[in-house]
A and B are shown apart, each in its own frame.
Chain A
Amino acid sequence: MSLYRDTGVVLRVQKLGEADRIITLLTRRHGKVRAVAKGVRRTTSRFGARLEPFGHVDVQFYTGRTLDIITQVQTVDAFGVGLVDDYPRYTAACAVLETADRLVPEEGEPALRLYLLLAGALRALSGGERDAGLVLDAFLLRAMAYAGWAPAVTECARCGAPGPHRAFSVPAGGSVCPRCRPAGAASPATETLRLMDALVHGDWAVAEASGDRARRECSGLVAAHLQWHMERQLRSLPLVDRQGRVEEQTT
């Protein structure tokens, strides 16, 4: 096979040589693909701005010896346009990209569900109709479900007793009943667990009616759960602007 074509989302770009870049994409059929875009950094490049992070593109690849070569690109959705104009949405979208990148360790391993989830999250963030923090947490929860690490929200993570329960333990795998509660478990508000459940199931009416405290607690628990299972820190997650940091700096 010398040429193949697929649609994908640009996860990451790295400089290569004088004017090239290595583009990492999560594609519909071929999973994660790393490919070289030759001359993409030149102002006269035929790829132009199509291969920037957040780009949803239709790409033709040429199979190379080590890395594949990108020969043609067409834009499907330019999610980046709607994201760079809004810093909180941009930082949330960066965390979405990094999570998707980390959750697919092997190149060429199909990850259709994660690809659809990623495109959906970027579309929601770019559209701007929903709160960026809620979209990010919904993506992280569903991406963890894809990876097999979904936190237990409505039942005890250890014994399976139906809930809702008051305690939440990241090492135990989610909410825990009073009998199974380990030392050091958090005690989030009932509304927080309700919000988490709503985000997992896409119940946006409940999610958008939640208060600030529940959102803060939910994002803290989701981030802790994700990083516990990934066993490493996500670089973009601490930089997500959830509270209008720009306004804070000027005051």
Chain B
Amino acid sequence: MYEGPVQDLIDELGRLPGIGPKSAQRIAFHLLAADPADIGRLQDALQRVREGVVFCEVCGNVAEQSICRICADPRRDPKLVCVVEEPKDVLAIERTREYRGRYHVLGGALDPLSGVGPDQLRIRELLNRIGTDEITEIILATDPNTEGEATATYLVRLLRDFPGLAVTRLASGLPMGGDLEFADELTLGRALTGRRAV
């Protein structure tokens, strides 16, 4: 145990996801030896995150103002909405530079084992958007795991009755750069089901 503020800093850093006691100690001593200007910038960034970040009123993504940059951009296709679980999934899809539509962030996936049901997600907000905006296609981009698939199934059943609305799901199958012999039965089965003519 270290004395006073150093131990407090290690304890606080250790509460962050993915940081164990050893990593917390290493970061704490790095900060102790760091330039005061660097510490100041870190303090400012933390302060701005706490005070300045809000959730977009339209899509639920993290934003600086009440409407996020993507929802406010007139060049984005308002007819296409990609439904994702978390704000970090928006960034993952943006990195592809393939998608020009807008997003809807659910805030998680249906996970009864963690007590997350439909009322804990932004599903009602999605239904309201479809009812009022000029949306013609919903792309379900929830994670390809048990919770994400169950969420997609639930949404498909909710959305299939909207007239003129296409509901699509991200393709799933073999990852690029992998070996076929190591693919598990579920993934290979999905890849076979979703095969396409070339």
Residues of A near any B CB (own CB < 8 A): 12, 15, 17-18, 43-44, 46-50, 52-54, 75, 78, 80-81, 83-87, 90-91, 94-95, 97-98, 235-236, 238-240, 245-246, 249-250
Contact = CB atoms under 8 A, between A and B. Distances in A.
Contacts of A15: 17
Interface residues of B, number: 32
A48 B157 contact: no
A80 to B, nearest CB: 5
B158 A250 contact: yes
Most buried by A among B153, B175, B182, B184: B184
A235 B114 CA distance: 7
Given A48-B183, A48-B184, A245-B118, A53 B113 contact: yes
Contacts, number: 88
Contact of B117 (A17, A53, A239): A239
A94 B175 contact: no
Interface of B: 17-18, 110-115, 117-118, 123, 127, 144-146, 149-150, 153-154, 157-158, 161, 175, 177-178, 182-187, 189
A84 B111 CA distance: 11
A75 B184 contact: yes
A99 B154 CA distance: 23
A80 B113 contact: no
A236 B150 contact: no
B184 A235 contact: no
Given A52-B145, A94-B113, A47 B184 contact: yes
